[in-house]
Structure 1
Amino acid sequence: MRKHHEAARSFAKKGSCRAAKGPRLRSDRTHHPKRQHGAGTAAHLGRRPPSRPSSRELARRRQLEDSLRKPHPGRGPRELAEKSEQGETVTKTNKNFRPDEVGAEIEIPANVNEAVTACWPELAPAWLKKAPGELARICERYEGRPVRTFNARYGFVVEVATAHERLVVRSTPDPRGMDQAQVAQALFDMGVGPRIHDVVQTPVSVWTVASRILPGDSLKGRPVPVERLAPIFRKILDRKTENDRLPTLVDWLRSRLNDERSNDLPSGRSWASPDERRQAAAILEDLGTEDSNMVCHGDASSSNILVGDGEELFLVDPRGVSGDVCYDVAVAAWKTPTDEQASVRAANLARLVGVDTERVRAWLVIAKAARV
């Protein structure tokens, strides 16, 4: 621990993972982006940057937001069937899903009910009451039907089948829901997250409507070499966010190290000892806050890394903070299945991403003490 502590002090003087500054993100591309040729951040990555929404699209969003605020008339979503070329109904399954009976009403899972009630007792009752009706109106707007719920902890996450594609609709009462949506949009702009079609804020919830990653299996329980992880973190390295009001990773970790909330611990874990947390807090202060305006996922664990087409990896469910990508590298190395020692794996991944190995190891010490 002393070795990591001393190493972290030297890296605090160096600043961030790299000194180079990346292009800035645009914060005005939040809802249903359309792509066009042009310059800027996306062009720098070899992708077409999204244009501003059309007046028709803006009107559609306003109509959707208004409909979510109106009392629900009790009518369920429109039923649609997705057919294959042979005319058969197609239902794709995934081991990361908890399937519900087709045609059955989709309900907020009991574990989500319990977690949300424990975390936000003042917000939970209204959200639990209104979220199912809001889901029905979103399904109706997209002419889709709910298919199944995803495993989640603090959100109501549902797969919705439409005539054109599969969507993932997510609702949360988390006060940081809009921050999470903004980071999710930034990840899409960089090519490491799913397309965000809509972000809708209601009096009780924040909804995101995204394209579903297919096949969409998470890396939970699946060994993955660091060579496959490195590309997603290289894409977000040294990328700034234009929203300087995002909560910072440092503040979140500092609070977690000083606040023992038993309802926010990973399953089967106990809080670190006071000495371990104090040492981690000292390392955290030494690392500094130079990366407070940088894009960071904040929770790059195996369950938040999905496998897409061609085995490409995508990041979902960001924490909604800005910070140091070296932290993401440390967490991904630690929380993806492997037989390697976490510090060795973290250093190997750091070298492939092109960041300071000792800085990544220092973040690993902090992450472990914070029980993230």
Structure 2
Amino acid sequence: MDQTANVPLPLATGIAKPTLKVLLAGPRGFCAGVDRAIKIVELALERFGAPVYVRHEIVHNRFVVETLQTKGAVFVEELDEIPDDGQPVIFSAHGVPKSVPAAAEARQMMYLDATCPLVSKVHREAERHFKDGAHILLIGHAGHPEVIGTMGQLPAGSVTLVEDAEQAAAVQPPPGPLAYATQTTLSVDDTTEVLDVLRARFPDLSAPIKEDICYATTNRQAAVKAIAERCDFMVVVGAPNSSNSVRLREVAERAGCPRAVLVQRGRDFDPSLVDGLSTIGITAGASAPELLVGEVVTRLRERFTLEIEDVTVAEEKIIFNLPRPLRDRPARVPAPAAE
């Protein structure tokens, strides 16, 4: 009898990893509005000390939120969760209804508004149309913080939400002038489809002075479209509650990529999903830091020899100003220890 039959064979060594082409879509990751919002929290912690309260997730990314929590940020859902301790509260990048800062002022709370300036622009446009006597048709997703914030700029009944082309075909706004606004993080193609239906039904529908879908959303979707047909698979780094990240996954598949997945970070990604494939794409939503893209690339390197190509369709150089209370204000100096 062969006594070596059950002895495990030594692992083979020197076996080359299969080669995988990786197309990195650019732009990807943080936009100017997200970068500004995170800096507001970090500077507030530096200058006012911990805790600093943040109403809702500052941006839709758990890694970002948890990192800020370790620095002293306390995330709450509503203002009534915040004690009267004199510490500031920050409103998230998605914007808030007017009732929120009003409630903060009633309690004499110091607040910092981290609303993305491009979201604030949508708010001001909606107010302008309302002042001119128009009813607003808001294209967006029900329950999203940005939609709640935009609708909350105007009196109840002044805005009708339209989520898709089917609703656009059925909506019955009140008689009189109509105008539209959109959530800033929508699919460009989906929004065009909805607007085509609305304009066919309401030829006098007034538009924003400038497109509401933000430059970052548009650029990230254009970058995905630029590589989708070259890819067998697409990885979108982002959170499931991030509208712009979810849209990127949808755009990838519509633009010709056979399959796209959304992952929050490298540890959530199974690289065996791309076994046997030759080319994949990677992008990231506007609230996902580049560090998390690096985690996915690291996971892939464990299994493949990578050939990486950057495909950039636009350069982004926009920088938004910080709120006035955070400009050129000295950091808080700790009190001397008692002797």
Name the structure with the higher strand share. Answer: 2
Q: Which has the higher contact order (CA 8 A, sep 6+)?
A: 2
Q: TM-score, normalised by structure 2?
A: 0.25
